[in-house]
Amino acid sequence: MSKLNNLLFISILIISLTACDYIPGLIGGTNDTQEANRIVTELTFAVAPQIAWIPWFLANEENLLNQYSNNIHIKFESDNYQKIIDSFLNGDVHAIAISNIDAIAQIVRRDIEVDVILISNGHNGSEAIILPQDVDTNVNNLRGKSFGLTKFSTRHYLFDRYLIRNQIGFDEIKILDMDEVDMLDAFKNNKEIIGVVTENPNLSYLTNTSNAKIIFDSRQIANEVFDLIIMRRETLNDHPDFAQALLSGWFAVTQKLQGNKKSQTLNGLSTLINLTSQQYANQLTTTPLNDSPAKALAKIRNRNIRKTMRHIQYFIQRHELASDENFNDWVSYPGRNPAILHFNGQPLQKYIANRR
């Protein structure tokens, strides 16, 4: 009997040890499954250091962009604005902050299919045409004169709208193309130009420290210039949580600006751009943020965007910044079949639904 007992004991032991190989599959999945669940996709989001976009920098600093999903890691990058656009065009970056003017002039013209997941802010006095105080602003005095600006930018668009409003022919004004970083020196020292078209922080600096006056700014073309967060459509389709993570990071910061943490948050934002808290707050009023999910969704659904796009279409076509294709094939709106640039309200709708 002792031999029989020994055989039974050995048999039970072998069966038990063999069964151990299958236990992971019963309680936690196979090693392959566990490994698959740990795969993290890295996606790159790039933003230039502009006044309205500094909340993205704070979101990155506080690691708010990587709180939403365990399967996506957002790599945050910052650089010169044009370099960021170039990186997006080259496929090195998956999502960027960009103006609506540049989204059409630089992205759509290359037939890169993108979705707008957020209109982050408007332009309400953040760029302007400025002249020395002693210059006569009568439109007849401006004819034949030269202005410094960055060609095909939001400032160029603003300048064109000023000329149209005041019935000044495009051929009656000369433009000296220059980088935004050169505007301060150009306004003070370049004798070839009568004035410049610039944006904050240069605009704020010149109007507060120099003998300068504003003759036209983006408040006079309300709702025509605004900034977007765009991502490649294939990226959004493959990784919808990417959009959710970005929206989560944005609203985490902007909502702090509305509550009892406003002062602390303003201090953090202003430090990132080397301004005082009051200076940053003043400049931020010229780029009103869509700081709540409901406000942002209403903005992306706003039918006035169509009217704005007609003005932009004229600007794009006049400067031959795109092909002769029908503009309706370039841009589409929520609820429509996606065109090259699609204002997509679904990510915001999902974000709002998930918070309920």
Question: Residue 251 is part of a domain; what is its CATH number?
Answer: 3.40.190.10
Select from 68, 206, 225 the least CA-distant residue to 161: 225
**Domain region containing 162:** 127-221
Q: How far is CA 177 from the centre of its chain?
A: 24
Provide the pLDDT for residue 12: 42
Identify whether the C-beta of residue 65 lies closer than 8 Å to the C-beta of residue 277. Answer: no
Provide the pLDDT for residue 86: 97
Alpha-carbon distance 353 to 32, whole Å? 33
pLDDT band, very low/low/confident/very high, at 67 (cuts 50, 70, 90): very high
Select from 21, 22, 80, 54 the least CA-distant residue to 287: 54
Summarised one tens digit per residue, pLDDT across range 233-281 is 999 999 999 999 999 999 999 999 998 999 999 999 999 999 999 999 9
pLDDT band, very low/low/confident/very high, at 321 (cuts 50, 70, 90): confident
Provide the pLDDT for residue 37: 57
Identify whether the C-beta of residue 41 lies closer than 8 Å to the C-beta of residue 71. Answer: yes
Whether residue 26 lies inside any domain: the answer is no
Alpha-carbon distance 114 to 98, whole Å? 12
Shared domain for 204 and 237, answered yes or no, is no
Whether residue 341 lies inside any domain: the answer is yes
- Cis before residue 201, ω within 30 degrees of 0? yes
Provide the pLDDT for residue 3: 45
In terms of DSSP bridges, do strands 212-217 and 95-99 run parallel, antiparallel, or are they unpaired? unpaired
Whether residue 27 lies inside any domain: the answer is no
Shared domain for 217 and 237, answered yes or no, is no
Identify whether the C-beta of residue 297 lies closer than 8 Å to the C-beta of residue 350. Answer: no
Mean pLDDT, rounded, for 86-102: 97
The CA-atom distances, in angstroms, between 311 and each of 72, 171, 177, 224, 344 are 38, 19, 22, 8, 21
Shared domain for 237 and 201, answered yes or no, is no
Burial class (CB in 10 A: 0-12, 13-18, 19+), 83: middle
Shared domain for 157 and 283, answered yes or no, is no
Identify whether the C-beta of residue 57 lies closer than 8 Å to the C-beta of residue 65. Answer: no
Summarised one tens digit per residue, pLDDT across range 124-183 is 999 999 999 999 999 999 999 999 999 999 999 999 999 999 999 999 999 999 999 999
The CA-atom distances, in angstroms, between 166 and each of 3, 173, 193, 215 are 110, 12, 20, 12
**Of 188, 221, 254, the domain-final residue:** 221
Q: Tell me the pTM.
A: 0.87
